Homo-oligomer: A and B are copies of this chain.
Amino acid sequence: MKKYKVAVIVGSLRKESYNLKTAQTLMSLASDDLAFELIEIGSLPFFNEDLEDKQPQQWIDFREQIQAADAVLFLTPEYNRSIPAALKNALDVGSRPYGQSAWSGKPAAVVSVAIGALGGFGANHHLRQSLTFLNMPAMAQPEAYIGNAGQLFDDQGSMINESTKNFLQGFMDAYEVWVKSLAK
């Protein structure tokens, strides 16, 4: 029975990130057919084509982690109506060198998590535009704009909002179908 390896990428670097807590909630709701790995992105040096000849070790390691995955799950906060730099950098580093993108063909889904009511809409769709280029089929529905994130978790980081938890359960069920339909 095939297990699908899912790389989980969280755009916020905060230790108490609501995006991270939402990622952990989502992983806890998935079936055993999905095996998750949280991928660290905060220590990747900025992508710069001039460095491609002597690539930082962190770039090489990151690309290998993505290549090993069957699918990718993205969680992103919204900074200034777009995705955080650390997440954008992960996309850019993983997409290179030219012609050897680690992302290509892997089914993806996007969850945006924000403190405000708008739920990170701007970040969510900016990320989707990049996923198109990266040849990552992005699940359409359910869209996941998780707003008012400050009210969803208890002090231990457990999701305490039942309707959001039910929504995330449905999201994860749909994502599992999506991954199984499209993973290579």
Query: What residues of chain A have their CB less than 8 Å away from a CB belonging to chain B?
Result: 13-15, 42, 46-50, 79-86, 88-89, 91-92, 95, 104, 117-119, 121-122, 125-126, 128-141, 143, 145, 147, 181-182
Are A140 and B131 closer than 8 Å at their CB atoms? yes
Are B133 and A81 closer than 8 Å at their CB atoms? yes
Are B132 and A145 closer than 8 Å at their CB atoms? no
Knowing A138-B140, A147-B117 are in contact, say whether A132-B48 is a contact too (CB < 8 A).
no
Are A80 and B118 closer than 8 Å at their CB atoms? no
Are B126 and A126 closer than 8 Å at their CB atoms? yes
Are B91 and A88 closer than 8 Å at their CB atoms? no
Knowing A13-B46, A92-B79, A121-B121 are in contact, say whether A126-B129 is a contact too (CB < 8 A).
yes
User: Within 8 Å CB of A80, what residues of B?
Assistant: 91-92, 95, 130, 133-134
User: Within 8 Å CB of A182, what residues of B?
Assistant: 181-182
